[in-house]
Amino acid sequence: MTNAPATSSVAGPVLRGLHNATIKKNLAISLGLTAIITVAYKLMINDPKKAAYADFYSKYDANKSFERMKAAGRFQSC
């Protein structure tokens, strides 16, 4: 056998503060992704939906709809 030491002289990993550093990194990533997804949802889902509702109600005639349902026999009292 040789006279090599039983343990190696390689420095171990730095574990002090690792949990806090990981939490900070994950929190920053999650907040960034949340902001991006929120803006994307607003632009791709909410804005077209609001425009569709605005378009529908700009052309909607409640009296015409009522007369159509009345003619179809939807109401018992009319």
15-61 pLDDT, tens digit each: 899 999 999 999 999 999 999 999 999 999 999 999 999 999 999 99
Mean pLDDT, residues 1-12 taken together:
68
pTM over 0.75: no
* Residue ranges in the chain assigned as alpha helix (H): 18-41, 47-59, 62-71
State the pLDDT at residue 27. 98
Distance of CA 11 to the CA centre of its chain: 43
